[in-house]
Amino acid sequence: MTRLPMRATQIAVATVLLGFIAISAFSPATAQDGWVTLFDGKNLDQWDQVGGSNWHVAQGAAVADQMTDKKVAGYLVSKKSYKNFIVRVEFWPSHDANSGIYFRCLDPKKITDRTCYEANIFDERPDPSYGTGAITRYVEVSPMPKAGEKWNTYEITVKGRDITVVLDGKETAKLRNGMFDQGPIALQHGAGTIKFRKVQVKEL
């Protein structure tokens, strides 16, 4: 049997290891520095669907624009539960969209603003105090920013009892509250059209 020189063997092993590291680093389910990608524009494998909205992937976004029951909102609910974390979400709502980012939900099958915290997306909410940028039922926003008909980014930091909501680089709500301790993240479709282009979470 022909033996490879030691140097050639070392190079071959290093090449295999580098290839494995590269594949691992760019796995669609993970990101660098602790960030995990829950939606990368390709599929909804990381989510369970609750409610009757027509969630589907189109042009690199998770989209919902129809409901089987106008009274029952639809949700994408993360399969994993989170306690302390940062979540980043890129979203595009129509001007009449009713949506939101829910987190620390008590029951993954029953998502409401009474059983989760919610960073709201609702430009046309009848009472704008808890519209886009607010934490529904907890922190009002004034003046209410408008998110409709453009891409926006939410960054929500949740650590212990402290919650901070940042919309397009500007802090819109800050809360210290211990009502909900841990639970999944959920994306809502309650009216209009909502698109989510990227969702990433980093546990703290």
8 A C-beta contact, residue 85 and residue 184: no
**pTM reported for the whole predicted model:** 0.85
Separation between Cα atoms, residue 140 and residue 173, nearest integer Å: 7
The pLDDT of residue 27? 43
CA distances from 160 to 27, 48, 133, 180 (A): 30, 26, 21, 10
| Percent of the chain with pLDDT strictly greater than 70 | 84
The pLDDT of residue 17? 42
Mean pLDDT of the region 144-172: 98
Separation between Cα atoms, residue 102 and residue 93, nearest integer Å: 16
Average pLDDT, the chain: 89
- Is the pLDDT score of 31 beyond 80? no
- Is the pLDDT score of 171 beyond 70? yes
Domain 33-203 fold is: Jelly Rolls (2.60.120)
- 49 or 13, greater pLDDT: 49
- Is the pLDDT score of 30 beyond 60? no
Q: Where are the domains of the chain?
A: 33-203
Contacts of residue 49, Cβ cutoff 8 Å, sequence gap at least 6: 55, 74, 75, 76, 77
CA angle 164, 169, 174 (to 5 degrees): 20
Instruction: Report which secondary-structure segment, H or E, holds 18.
Output: helix 6-25
- Is the pLDDT score of 61 beyond 50? yes
Mean pLDDT of the region 8-26: 42
